[in-house]
Structure 1
Amino acid sequence: MNKRKIDINCDVGEGIGNEPDLFPMISSCNIACGGHAGSKETIRQCLELALKFNVSIGAHPSYPDRENFGRISMDISDDDLIRSISDQMKLFMIECNYLGATLHHIKPHGALYNDIAKNQHLAKVFLSAIIRYKKNVVLYVPFGSIIEKLAIASNFKIWREAFADRNYTNDLNLVSRKQKNALISNGKDVLNHLLLMYNEKEVRTVNGERIPIQADTFCIHGDTPTAFQILMYITEHLSEYNLQAKP
């Protein structure tokens, strides 16, 4: 029986240095491109790993805020945000073109990801910043978000994303990282969380409710302290459920 394919993505190039361990176990990656983390060198290193392990390549632009790792909303003008996103994508594409790598998707990072999920104006600004990639690139978006609706209306290709290593509230927001129960760090718990979302199209919230959700790709954060252990566990056990993350 052919195994069903599940896309496991990972945020990488953020200074953790664990990418050589993670890439063999994931199917798509989101590479920091200088906004919250990353440099020409780290982009190239991650691209080389992606090519080696047949991992779909994604850019991971953010607010230009390295001090706060892009995890705090910024008071930034539309023009400055567009300029920053454009500069990040330019840096990324220079390295892609140098290595002959193909950009598969764009996934905004951190506070920017969360803000454009709820703020219509900011979502429109972000879409305008990446409009040149619209024809050939997929945009990763959270299910039920404003950016999802606007992207579809503007004929962007989208994949809905869910987070396998993060807990959700009843309104499908991620539990704040300031809370102790924000992260799911045990491999078995992450797999159970993922399987419910994949098979039942529901997520169990921190309040114990089961809320409808749809996802085409599932994220494990590369900077989660137990990311390697989580991915090892998932890789070892996915086949028990007739699933595989790698081609």
Structure 2
Amino acid sequence: MAYEHIIFDEADGVAVLTINRPERMNALHIGVIAEMIHAVDRVRDEGTARVLLMTGTGRAFCSGADLAGGGAGGGGGGESKLPAGPPDAGKVLETHFNPLLERLFALPVPFVTAINGAAAGAGCSYALAGDIVVAGRSAYFLQAFVNIGLVPDVGSTWLLPRLAGKARAQAMMMLGEKIPAETALDWGMIYKVVDDADLMDEARAIAVKLASGPTKSLALIRHGLRDSLDMTLTEALMVERRNQMQAGRSADFGEGVTAFLQKRKAVFTGK
């Protein structure tokens, strides 16, 4: 697929997906989402990337659905108009926005997001879906749905209470106010805030470190941690036991133990 709305490249085990519609603050319609899904599937299926890093071009990470381009109702990306009759703002969630989020969660490699400027609406969800979220100081997070008479979607009602707590998540959703990067850090929503000029260098350094790590163990960590949020302690212990069995059978575990005993740095291969 030739990409029109994103930039995708891979080097040294790090795949970088950049939403590239700066003139629209990287707003999303089905054409953009289709390209993002294609790129994420490449990371999943080709097996050469050991981490995915996502960011946006210009002054925004992603401003959410492209309302002018029909993004909230299923248009855009080649469709000239919305379907006749009452719009179904939930349909495009089912066909495009939600499948992308689920693919990001299911990736067998770590997922890092670098937040430059606005992360609003669906863009807020994709930003916070990262295993490690790094934001520039000018970044902000916005649940804008109430401002246009819609409800939070693309996993917002699942993600935000788990990251910021119910009270803060509910205020974000009902008041529709911008949450600056420093506040998001204080609330435990993100990992780190850095100067805007240092954002990509910092995020890439994290991605490179992850790419040199034990990929199978990292995948088990990302999946096990998120799964445990909806489990009892006993269920979580069972998952940890199963995951430890899988990690213990990896070549990286053998290398890690050998390197520890030999007092040298481990060289992980992701196997």
TM-score, normalised on structure 1? Answer: 0.34
Higher helix share: 2
Higher relative contact order (CA 8 A, sep 6+): 1
Higher Rg: 2
TM-score, normalised on structure 2? Answer: 0.32
